[in-house]
Structure 1
Amino acid sequence: MKSFFFFTCLLAIFSAFFLFNIDQNREQQAMAEDVVSTDEELHPHVKEQKDTLIERADDIGIDVVITEGYRSHDRQDDLYAQGRTESGDIVTNAEAGESYHNYGLAIDFAIENSDGEIIWDIEYDGTESGESDWLEVAAIGEDLGFEWGGHWNDYPHLQMDFGLSIEELQEAKQQLDNESG
């Protein structure tokens, strides 16, 4: 009787863990599918290097999925509200105009496994090379001139700031808006 109770409890715990992981993967997958990553609004050099990143990763057996590119101010506001005034986890500390995504200078990526599942686990080694696929992609990105967000705990993030701060980009945008408006 004790063993039956033990196995029943074990099954319940395993089921809860399994369902939690499925739900978490579905949420991340939905987030990835919800994004419109428009290449046209990326800086031309960022777009070119993004394409090269995908090709180089593919050459070593890693399927990179771009989950976000240019991000409108409305989209940035929506993401900033998440976990604050809206449900969900906090996914950004940048408000509209405070992200390199808002200027077409950043992309976010994930890894897709051979079953077509989006992998957010930064330790995942689908190529069985002994090194995380995420770290391999980050190294490719840095070789291409991207700065990797993993250096500040934003692992899916790659950006090219061209030596410009967010404040400088905001000022330039404001000046352009004033001249055209």
Structure 2
Amino acid sequence: MDNYTKQKINRLHPSIQAEVITIVNECNTALKGKAKIRITQGFRTFEEQNLLYNQGRTHPGKKITNAKPGQSIHNYGFAVDICLIIEDKIASWDTAKDWDNDKIADWYECVKIFAKFGWEWGGNWKKFKDLPHFEKRGHNNWRKLIKLKQDTNGYVILKKEYYA
């Protein structure tokens, strides 16, 4: 696991950090060729979300999100975006490439591993496909998360009522 990925994991909600480490390690074990998984996005502040939301609207560039601040699961630390790093230097978002020649696209090997741990893949969404995006099921309702109190580090405090 590369240092960039470790840094992104360390900023995720503490309740899922260990699980994400396990997922990344399983992905890297499954990818026996040139590719390894890298987390490119994790926790995102409301300010960072606002900058992304304004891109293509009030700032130059292509629209990349429909989520306003508070409406992204990234804002609560329960989502990651990934890419594959080829030979430790080239970022790839190619979902079809089979770098390890095992007849399964490397990206989909990772999709299966995330799913095994109860993560939803943005590539399965009907309206806005977000291929690099994965979010933890059970924590992916921003309307509930935005109402929760935060701890001193800014993470939402999960209570049993959240799951009801």
State the TM-score, normalized to the length of structure 2: 0.77
Change (3 A) 1:163 1:40: closer
| Distance in 1 of aligned mates of 2:102 and 2:59 | 40
Structure 1: gaps (5+ residues): 1-32
Structure 2: gaps (5+ residues): 155-164
Given candidates 87, 100, 107, the residue that maps to 2:80 is: 107
Compute the RMSD of aligned alpha carbons: 2.5
> Does 2:134 correspond to 1:158?
yes
- Give the corresponding residue for 1:121: 94
| Distance in 1 of aligned mates of 2:139 and 2:25 | 26
| Distance in 1 of aligned mates of 2:8 and 2:76 | 12
- Give the corresponding residue for 2:16: 46
Matches within 5 A, 1:3-152: 38-60=8-30, 61=32, 62-114=35-87, 116-152=89-125
Instruction: Figure out how many residues of one structure are paired with residues of the other and give that number.
Output: 143
Change (3 A) 1:115 1:66: closer
Quick check: which has more Rg, 1 or 2?
1
Select the structure that is richer in strand: 2
- Segments of 4+ in structure 1 off by > 6 A? none
Structure 1 residue 48 displacement after superposition = 1.4
Q: Which moved more, 1:40-49 or 1:125-134?
A: 40-49
Select the structure that is richer in helix: 1
| Distance in 2 of aligned mates of 1:173 and 1:136 | 36
Change (3 A) 1:41 1:163: closer
State the TM-score, normalized to the length of structure 1: 0.70
Are 1:76 and 1:95, in contact at CA under 8 Å, matched by a contact in 2?
Answer: yes
Listed one character per residue, the Cα deviations across residues 54-88 of structure 1 (whole Å, up to 9, x for unaligned) are: 11111122400000110000110111111222222
| Distance in 2 of aligned mates of 1:56 and 1:161 | 19
Change (3 A) 1:130 1:164: closer
